[in-house]
Amino acid sequence: MAGKANMHELGAGTSGINPHHGATRNPYNVGRVSGGSSGGSAAAVCAGLCPVALGADGGGSVRMPAALCGVVGFKPTAGRLSNSGLLPLNWTVGMPGILAATVEDTLIAYAAIADQSKPSPLQQPELNLPMLTRTRSMPSIRLAKYAKWFDDSSEDIRSLCGKALQMLRTHYGWESVDVTVPEIEEMRLAHYVTMGSECTASLAAKYLDSMDRSEVGWDVRIALSAYGSFSSRDYLSAQRLRCRQMYFHEKIFETADAIVTPMTGVTAYALQDDALSTGELDYINGAALVRYSIAGNFLGLPAITVPVGYDRGGLPVGLQFIGRPWSEATLLHLAYAMQEACGKKVLRKPKVHYDLLTKE
């Protein structure tokens, strides 16, 4: 163990600003956010402090900071990795994930922690680990792209991710197929209700009933208040939408091997000095950061993000592949293919000012 990483308080935000332990800063630009909630893990890998770090992903909290910090972020299918040792904040949408410098490192870590010796509450198929050197010999891959959703991102992200798909077509002959993902906004709201309701239920007896709200950041106070407003009827309605969305995605996977999206709608935005001691709620940037994360958590689908370049400000951009349940081996192949097609230029390390990464 190299150490413990900073994170957004209670995992209840996307910026990585923690008023108790300092804001985790992006190694590419220490005036920018690292993302959250597992921003400390992403920054540590990005800065070269360690090759691999772990995080928890309940709403993109591994994949989103990985994209902002220019590393690989991998969330397997729900149930593939043990939740033992995780605070059970949102047990049906949150799960452990891996942040690593390369796809190869990601695979090594995944092989080490995917323990098949213990019984799982889910009926999961046998673990298969891909031979990444055989990626070029894979049969033709079909990538599902919902153009309206894919393009709901900044100009730089849209351009880089579009060029990345073209590179896959040029290098491997893999095709993109046009699809529609219905009711994306309804899925986002249902996920938020599910995540918030489970967080309240998990923390209620032991923490929330005796918590002094003045001890937590302003953004977390608002989040906890919103979470506590959801009723049991709201939660059950969200689960009906979950079943509906699973049906929609199953139909997509009948004709495609994976869904492809940008990982975030914006790159790392600027830290505001007046938010460092209180936390912040930035709903515009926050919504853009989690725009493409929800299906992986709400539906338990495996997903991986890999760097594909940099915006005009030199900040990393990630591309995401979302797979059908238990298709981790395929996703690792896809991410490795993307990494090889982009070349080592996307793996360049930033000039890091280590003393500023946790500057107050």
Structural domains in the chain (count): 1
Which has the higher per-residue pLDDT, 113 or 87? 113
Q: Is residue 45 part of a domain?
A: yes
- For residue 247, give both structure tokens: 């049906």
pLDDT at 350 over 90: no
Q: Is residue 1 part of a domain?
A: no
Rounded CA gap, 50 and 16, in Å? 19
Q: Is residue 162 part of a domain?
A: yes
Looking at residue 126, its pLDDT comes to 85
Looking at residue 1, its pLDDT comes to 85
Q: Which residues constitute the domain of residue 63? A: 9-115+131-283+302-346
> Which helix (H) or strand (E) covers residue 240, if one does?
helix 232-253
Task: Give tens-digit pLDDT for 131-154.
Answer: 998 888 787 899 999 999 999 999
Which has the higher per-residue pLDDT, 348 or 164? 164
pLDDT at 312 over 90: yes
Residue pair 323/258 in contact by the 8 Å Cβ criterion = yes
CA dihedral 47, 263, 17, 51 (to 10 degrees): -20
pLDDT at 68 over 90: yes
What is the rounded average pLDDT of the residues 178-196?
A: 97
Residue pair 152/146 in contact by the 8 Å Cβ criterion = no
* DSSP letter, residue 183: -
Instruction: Determine the straight-line distance between the first and last CA of the chain, rounded to whole angstroms.
Output: 25
Q: Is residue 15 part of a domain?
A: yes
Average pLDDT, the chain: 92
pLDDT at 360 over 50: no
Looking at residue 346, its pLDDT comes to 61
Rounded CA gap, 164 and 342, in Å? 7
Q: Is residue 105 part of a domain?
A: yes
The percent of residues above 70 in pLDDT, for the chain, comes to: 93
Looking at residue 349, its pLDDT comes to 63
Q: Is residue 38 part of a domain?
A: yes
Looking at residue 37, its pLDDT comes to 94
What is the rounded average pLDDT of the residues 119-130?
A: 77
* CA-based max dimension of the chain: 59
Which has the higher per-residue pLDDT, 17 or 345? 17
pLDDT band at residue 215 under the 50/70/90 scheme: confident
Q: Is residue 306 part of a domain?
A: yes
pLDDT band at residue 242 under the 50/70/90 scheme: very high
How would DSSP label each residue in 289-339? HSTTTHHHHHS---EEEEEEEE-TTS-EEEEEEEESTT-HHHHHHHHHHHH
Task: Give tens-digit pLDDT for 258-304.
Answer: 999 999 999 999 999 999 999 888 989 999 999 999 999 999 999 99
Which has the higher per-residue pLDDT, 343 or 52? 52
pLDDT band at residue 347 under the 50/70/90 scheme: low
What is the rounded average pLDDT of the residues 108-122?
A: 78
Q: Which of 14-18, 71-75, 133-137, 338-342 has the lowest mean pLDDT?
A: 133-137
Looking at residue 213, its pLDDT comes to 80
- For residue 4, give both structure tokens: 């413990």
What is the rounded average pLDDT of the residues 57-67?
A: 97
Rounded CA gap, 3 and 10, in Å? 19
Kindly report the CATH number assigned to the domain that includes residue 339. 3.90.1300.10
Task: Give tens-digit pLDDT for 70-82.
Answer: 999 999 999 999 9
Q: Is residue 291 part of a domain?
A: no
Rounded CA gap, 140 and 173, in Å? 7
C-alpha angle 138-143-144 in degrees, rounded to nearest 5: 155
Looking at residue 344, its pLDDT comes to 56
Do β-strands 142-145 and 175-178 pair in parallel, antiparallel, or remain unpaired?
Answer: parallel
Looking at residue 307, its pLDDT comes to 98
Looking at residue 119, its pLDDT comes to 59
Residue pair 249/140 in contact by the 8 Å Cβ criterion = no
**Strand order in 303-310's β-sheet?**
52-57, 95-100, 72-75, 303-310, 316-323, 258-262, 142-145, 175-178
Query: Which of 221-225, 231-235, 277-281 has maximum average pLDDT?
Result: 231-235
> Which helix (H) or strand (E) covers residue 223, if one does?
helix 218-228
pLDDT at 117 over 70: no
pLDDT at 355 over 60: no
Other CB atoms within 10 Å distance of the CB of residue 155: 10
